[in-house]
Copies of this chain bind each other. A is one copy, B any other.
Amino acid sequence: MINVAIIGAAGLSGLELIRILTRHPHASLQVLTSGKYAGRSACDAFPELGDVELVFQQHDAALNGCDVAFLAIPNKASMELAPKLLAQGQRVIDLSGVFRLRDTEVFRTHYGFAHTEPETLKQAVFGFPEINREIIPGAKLIGNPGCYPTGALLGLLPLGDLMAELAVAPVIDAKSGVSGAGGRVEDDATNFMEVNENFKAYKVFEHQHTPEIEQVLEDCTAYDRGRHGAVVFTPHLLPLGRGILSTIYLHFNEAMDPDAIRRRFADFAAREPFVTLLPAGRGAELKMVQGRNDCVISLFHDATAQKWVVLTAIDNLVKGAAGQAVQNMNLMFGVDETAGLK
C-alpha cells in the first residue's frame, strides 16, 4: 500500500483526493490536514465522504511513514512547504501553480510574486502523464498541471508537428465551473448571487495558465511562439459546479486532410487510458466527464478544412486536478496507471 498524506484536505481538490483515494486499491490515507477543520474527523465535517474516520490535523503534522504528500494548498504555502518536505525525503505531488513554469521571470509576471525556490523548481517534473509518462516514475516533486492547460493541451497535443501549419496561434475559449476557481471558496466572486444566472470572462489576455500552455506546446509540438504569436486564452466562469469545456479554434495555412487529423486523435485516444474521441458530428459536453478522470474530445472543420474547432471536456477537479494527481501517484509507485480512477 502507498501511504498518503493530503495537505489541505478540506479544500475542493483535497476533498476530491479523499474521495478517490478511499476507493483506491493500493493507497491508504494516513494524514489529512486542514487549518479550519483540525480536530474534527473527515466524516463528521463532511458526511458526504461516508465513513472516513481520519481526523484532520494542522498543516504542520508529522508525515512519518507517508510515501507521498499531496499539496492542495495556496501557491505561496506550497512554495514554502514543498522544499521542507523534500528535504525530509518526502515525495511530493503539488497541485498549486508554483512548480510548473520553468522560467521564473514569466512566473513573476503572471503570478505577481517572485519565485523564491528556483532550485526546487528545477527538480520538478510536469505531471502530465500523456507527455511525461517515462520520467514521472523517478520524480521526487511533481508539478501537477493546471486545470485549464489540461483541457487545452489534450486537444492540441495530438496535432504534433501539424501545429507548424497554423496560420495564427490557437485561440482557446475555455469555460469553467465554479469549483475551478481554485479553492477560493470564501471569495466574494464565487458567492452564489454573483455566479448564479450570470456568465463572464475574466483575466482576458492575463491568465497565468497561458504561459503554461505555451511552454508545453513549444516543448511537444511544432507550435512556435515567435512565429505564431502568443496563444490566445480566455477563461470564463460558468454557473455550475464542475467541468471545463474548451473550444479551441485552429486556422491552418491550407486545407488539412480530415481523415489524417481524425486518425491522429483516434490514435491518441486509443493509447491513452483517459482520453475519449467522440464520433464525427458528436460534440463534447460537460455531463460526459463530471466525476470522471476522462477527457472527451470532438473535432469539427468547416467546408474548406482549413478552419477547425476542437472541443475538449474535463472535470476540473478530477482530470484537471485530483484525478490527474492520483494518475501521477500511480506512475510514481509503479502500480496500474488507472488504479482507483476507472
Chain A residues engaging chain B, CB cutoff 8 angstroms: 12, 44, 47-48, 50, 167-168, 171, 173, 175, 178-179, 185-186, 188, 190-202, 204-205, 229-230, 232, 234, 236, 238-243, 245, 247, 249, 251, 276, 278-279, 283-292, 294, 296, 300-304, 306-307, 309, 311, 342
Contact = CB atoms under 8 A, between A and B. Distances in A.
16 contacts: A48-B287, A167-B168, A168-B168, A185-B188, A192-B195, A197-B290, A199-B240, A199-B286, A200-B283, A201-B247, A201-B311, A230-B307, A232-B302, A232-B307, A236-B247, A291-B291
A171 B286 contact: no
A274 to B, nearest CB: 11
B241 A240 contact: no
A278 B47 contact: yes
Contacts of A201: 245, 247, 283-284, 309, 311
Given A185-B188, A185-B193, A309 B249 contact: no
A170 to B, nearest CB: 11
Given A48-B290, A173-B247, A285-B200, A238 B241 contact: no
Given A47-B276, A300-B205, A302-B205, A287 B179 contact: no
A178 B191 CA distance: 10
Contacts of A311: 201, 204
Given A171-B249, A204-B311, A205-B300, 20 more contacts: A47-B288, A47-B296, A50-B294, A171-B171, A173-B249, A175-B175, A175-B236, A185-B194, A191-B192, A192-B196, A192-B239, A197-B290, A199-B240, A199-B245, A200-B286, A201-B283, A205-B302, A230-B303, A230-B304, A239-B240
